[in-house]
Structure 1
Amino acid sequence: MMNLKNIGIQMTDKVLLFINGVPPSNLPETEGYSLIACTDGAFHYLKEKNFPLDQLDFISGDFDSHSGQDDSVYEEKFIYTPDQDKTDFQKALEIIESRGGKEIEIYGASGGEMDHFLGNLTVAFQFKEKMDITFYDESSTYFFAKKKATLNEVHGKTISLYPFPAAIAVMTKGLKWPLNQETLDLTKRIGTRNVADSETVEISYTSGDLIIFVGK
């Protein structure tokens, strides 16, 4: 797996979370995680893909699509979260936060309905100061970057810098089209579809928020 590091973050035990977007075509290995969880919608595709369900620490959601029959053996793992003012993703992160999770790797956040994907980014934004959240999908890996970030083993990969909604004084090293103290703004200029010219890329900015997408 590609090595991604946000400078200034002390890595802790990792959490693996599946949510109800487009299911990953290849499920990740489960070794190395201190906690593995999913929302109730993701539980259905994990079951269809023969994921080792006994390794799940919890399954959260309102269970409105849950059959309650074949899955009864897992009921002790169910956490009922009926609050309709929050998304299932948000409620799952709240549970993970209560259990001390800090480094979260997420599958199933993108694809399908785009408002769902944008909503997931907004939820991640709300938790970005509490957790180090990284998303994985079929085309890229992406995360909210700290003010200084280093990407390793990325030569030749597509790198996109997406302000949320603005990032000030962006500087890069190792990209084909470098940025030097430049401002990215969602309504004026974004930094998508750049390319890594070296194995290591360094990105920094002084204020605002920035999502980094690393193509596969």
Structure 2
Amino acid sequence: MSSHHIVRDDQEPALIIANGAACSKELMGHLLEWSPLVIVLDSAIDRVMQLGIKVDVLLGDFDRGFDPEYYRDLQYPLEIVYAPDQEKTDLEKAFDFLIDRKIPAANVIWATGRRADHTITNITNIVRFRDKLKIVLLDDHSKIFLLPPTFEKWYTAATPISLIPIGQVEGITTKNLKYPLNNEPLTIGYRTGSSNEVEKDGMVLIEHKQGDLLMMECYD
């Protein structure tokens, strides 16, 4: 698989490769083509190198005898970022790295699938970065991101859309969804907006007054 860096002055999101289930080569290739920076978590570096991907940053706590210098020689030039904070996941540390570099957005792959605890943590942890970094998690079946208080986007009819609250979300109102909400709450574990869909071709409007609401564009 080829490298990346076909970009316009860092306007495109950085790409973070975590260590969950792999995505298709088509999805990865599309993201690599437009990524100004590719960050790989240390637990995934061997899998990534087997695909022939050029890495810009190798990040992690480098525990269990991990030797980052070995990969510097293989991937030169490679920036190595030692991030030992055990109170944060390596993915959170990658988000912090981008914020420090004033990079405004990130696409994340290999962050879902495999271990369920890692999947749930990776999805829900994006809420704490909502004011500093635009984050999108992608796999072959889903595109996941945090909604602003007012969200509008054009969709084709029957596009599957799920609204998943982190905790409780108040005052949700939607337009052009098959199962509309009218100033209603959603609460994780009790009532969510899973498996809704776009009613007709056109703009979808989703508003909420309080709380953290995830949008999941999902495809079978």
Q: Secondary structure at the match of 2:111?
A: coil
Aligned to 1:81, which of 53, 71, 83? Answer: 83
Does residue 125 in structure 1 map to residue 124 in structure 2? Answer: no
Q: Secondary structure at the match of 1:101?
A: coil
Deviation at 1:63, TM superposition (A): 2.8
What aligned pairs does 1:1-216 form with structure 2 within 5 A after superposition? 12-26=11-25, 27-29=28-30, 30-51=32-53, 53=54, 56-64=55-63, 66=66, 71=71, 72-74=73-75, 76-199=78-201, 200-216=203-219
Partner of 1:3: none
Give the distance between the partners of 1:196 and 1:150, measured in 2 at CA: 12
Deviation at 1:119, TM superposition (A): 1.3
Give the distance between the partners of 2:38 and 2:154, measured in 1 at CA: 26
Label 1:215 to 1:132 Cα distance change in 2 as closer, same or farther (>3 A).
same
8 Å CA contact 2:144, 2:216 repeated in 1: yes
8 Å CA contact 2:68, 2:80 repeated in 1: no
Label 1:63 to 1:155 Cα distance change in 2 as closer, same or farther (>3 A).
farther
Deviation at 1:153, TM superposition (A): 3.4
Label 1:68 to 1:169 Cα distance change in 2 as closer, same or farther (>3 A).
closer
Q: Secondary structure at the match of 1:109?
A: coil
Deviation at 1:170, TM superposition (A): 0.7
Q: CA RMSD in A?
A: 2.1
Deviation at 1:67, TM superposition (A): 5.9
8 Å CA contact 2:18, 2:109 repeated in 1: yes
8 Å CA contact 2:151, 2:207 repeated in 1: yes
| Residue-by-residue CA offset, 1:144-163 (whole Å, 9 max, x unaligned) | 11111123334322111111
Corresponding residue pairs, total? 203
| TM-score of the superposed pair, with normalisation by structure 2 | 0.84
Deviation at 1:196, TM superposition (A): 1.2
Deviation at 1:198, TM superposition (A): 2.6
| Residue-by-residue CA offset, 1:37-63 (whole Å, 9 max, x unaligned) | 111122222112222x1xx32110123
Unaligned runs of 5+ in 1: 1-10
Letter in 2 for 1:214: E
| TM-score of the superposed pair, with normalisation by structure 1 | 0.85
Letter in 2 for 1:15: A
8 Å CA contact 1:23, 1:45 repeated in 2: no
8 Å CA contact 2:152, 2:205 repeated in 1: yes
Deviation at 1:120, TM superposition (A): 1.1
Deviation at 1:122, TM superposition (A): 3.3
Q: Secondary structure at the match of 2:36?
A: strand
Q: Which moved more, 1:181-190 or 1:76-85?
A: 76-85
Give the distance between the partners of 2:87 and 2:70, measured in 1 at CA: 29
Deviation at 1:25, TM superposition (A): 2.2
